[in-house]
Amino acid sequence: MKQKQQVSHNGSNKRFRPNQKYDKTLDYLNSWMEKKGITWKQSIIVRKDASGHSVFATRDLKEDEIVCTVPKTAILSRKTSPLRDIIDEEELAGGMALTLCLMYEMTLKKKSEWWPYLQSLPQVVDLPMYWDEQALTHLEGTCLDPSTIVEENALLLEDYQSIIKPLFRKHAIFNEGKYMNFESYRRAAGLVASRAFSVDDFHDLSMVPLCDIFNHKSGSENVHMECQAEVCLECGSEDHVEHDAPTHDEHVANVKSISMTTNSDIKCKSELFNVYEDLSNVDLLLKYGYAHENNPFDVVSIKPDVIHNAIHDKKWFDKNRWEYWLSIKNTKLEEEEEENEEEDDGDEEDEELHCEFNAEGKPNHTLLLLLCIMFAKKEQYASWKNVKKLIQHVKSQAVTKQMKEACVIMAKERLSIYKDSLDEDLEGLQDKHLPSRHKWSLIIKVCEKRILHKVVEE
């Protein structure tokens, strides 16, 4: 999320109108947003169809034009929730904290301060976490192993049973809500995964009304969210004024707004797409419930055991070098270490780095590390016991003919994991009545296979 200085908003509110018949839900949301001080320009309109809400331009928009502003007092976060004291007492944070807050508000229904916003949210975002066993089988062979989804669901249930559920008996405030159960927690978890924003250091993950209506499309982003990310950790103030632990109500005036701003000129009637992370199709499906062809950020990951099966019998394969690579393959490039330095609190385990081919069929750093080690001359390899020297070399290493041939062998081994061919998957996508879950799975397979074929054919 982009940081900014304080921004001004010029323009008046205009009620969002559905593109077809009168929409009571949307009208209810309009009135609530006006009361909360959420403002938007007459230059945008929200439309609703079978797939959900979308935002469109009603006139030509200029670059760096603010199209809407949301006061931080209107967002739902661990700091604006009635559960904030409990959240702090129980030391909950991140997705779990927001999921609990969202579930609580949803179970309050009309008693919730955010009810007009909450009732506009989809009943469920069809993420893989909700798929049944039959639907998950369509993902077999892809980078999204069905067993991973099953394990994640088991962990979610474990967190609910061991951490969340005991809070219902411990704190009387939960008596106000109805249907406080795992299904309501699971629904809230899906909404948080697909719609929450990391707002600032104080609020952390938050539900941001209106901003979460802007859809995402890789490579087509034309608006982005702006807010001050570095704020006072005690009160959320952007002014960094000395204070003696003010109460929640006393510091509200110091908290400013979130805005959506255009990245470029936008033509009238064009849809406005928000900037998210650069995500592969697997990550898009996990977080937002969809995938799309020609994703410039797509990748195909290859597990070490698949690589080993592909190359262990080759003349150039060296067991000692392989084991050395396994011991250092999670070493990051220096730039990556610097970028993640501030985020690293020292308590998390090292992130597992995957061997990948990107959308252009090029090997990533981890895979290139292996190729350099395998094909290095004896003297050069001996000097790489100093990992920093190896990393420096990899940063400037061009892919040689030998390396390309090795990549082809790995890609073919990876292709052998799929049950069907690329042509069969493409034929399956022609079915206009294909269930969405099967469709997303086929798109992931098609895109992965196209990348691997690119590696083999180039």
Instruction: Look over the chain and give the mean of its residue pLDDT values, rounded to a whole number.
Output: 86
By mean pLDDT, which of 52-66, 142-156, 172-186 is the weakest? 172-186
Q: What pLDDT sits at residue 45?
A: 85
The arithmetic mean of pLDDT across residues 405-429, rounded, is: 96
Q: What is the pLDDT of residues 365-411, one digit of tens each?
A: 999 999 999 999 999 999 888 888 888 888 888 899 999 999 999 99
> pLDDT-based confidence at 338, cuts 50/70/90?
very low
Least trusted range by pLDDT, from 77-91, 295-309, 341-355, 362-376 = 341-355
Q: Is the pLDDT of residue 181 over 50?
A: yes
pLDDT of residue 123: 84
Listed range (173-182, 206-215, 221-230, 256-265) with the worst mean pLDDT:
173-182
pLDDT of residue 336: 46
So what's the pLDDT on residue 53?
83
For residue 439, name the pLDDT band (cuts at 50, 70, 90): very high
pLDDT at residue 158, rounded to an integer: 97
For residues 3 and 228, is the Cβ–Cβ distance under 8 A? yes
Q: What is the pLDDT of residue 43?
A: 82
For the sheet containing 76-77, what is the strand order? 76-77, 205-207, 197-198
The reported pTM is 0.84
CA 125 to chain centre: 14
Q: Is the pLDDT of residue 3 over 60?
A: no
Q: Which of 75-84, 233-242, 247-256 has the lowest mean pLDDT?
A: 247-256
With 70 as the cut, is the pLDDT of residue 21 above it? no
